[in-house]
Amino acid sequence: MPHRPAELTPTPEFLAHSSARPLHWLATATAMAAFVALAGLIQPDASATGHAGPAGTSAAPASGPQATAPDPAAVTYPLDCKGLPTAVTAAAEGDLDGDGRPETVAAVRCDAGSGTPPHAIYVLARDKAPGAPPRIVATLLEAGKRQTAADLAISDGVVTASLLGYSSPQVPRYSPDVKQLAKWRWSGGKFRQELTNSDARSV
């Protein structure tokens, strides 16, 4: 009979024409043990692939959770609102100083209910102390400038906003006639402002 490779389950014909010898069974057991050992070696490691491990557990993430930007609603703002509350009308988030942690820029004004109260723009950062509330680290626009802010945004570490103001005290407060496009960027340890040329016009 021609020689055939060993199989896990011999055929009936093979059993009928062959007699089992101790050496044959020893060789078969050795081959199966080697096969099982090889299967264990090539089994993928759960921790390397990120799949669930034994009992449904999963591998730990490679890095911790990303830092979150400060909540502008958790800050007390230094505006003199004559007893009225303050209102955050716009906010933007981004890493402004390149330290890997996002800051929040907030446009804030007195919540007067009517009229056009001026804005102040603040930069907020998280305190390093655990559980500490966010704090104001810079003022980009003071309320004393008598301007209102629109289109507040952060892009590539640069803060931008449209600032609406007045060409003279005679211009009604509800109808600003000057528009400036402002940019603030962190440079040399402080925020530096860039303003476009502005002309008196109705906006």
Amino acid in the structure at residue 151? D
Q: Which of 189, 54, 75 is nearest to 127 (CA)?
A: 75
Residue 120 vs residues 86, 87, 143, 175, 202: alpha-carbon distances, Å: 11, 11, 5, 19, 22
Torsional class of 169: left (φ above 0), alpha (ψ -120 to 50), beta (otherwise):
alpha
**Per-residue pLDDT tens digits for 43-53:** 444 333 333 33
pTM over 0.85: no
**Per-residue pLDDT tens digits for 70-84:** 999 999 999 999 999
Which residues 6+ apart lie within 8 Å of 155 measured at CB?
A: 94
Take residue 89 and report the two structure tokens written for it.
Answer: 């009308």
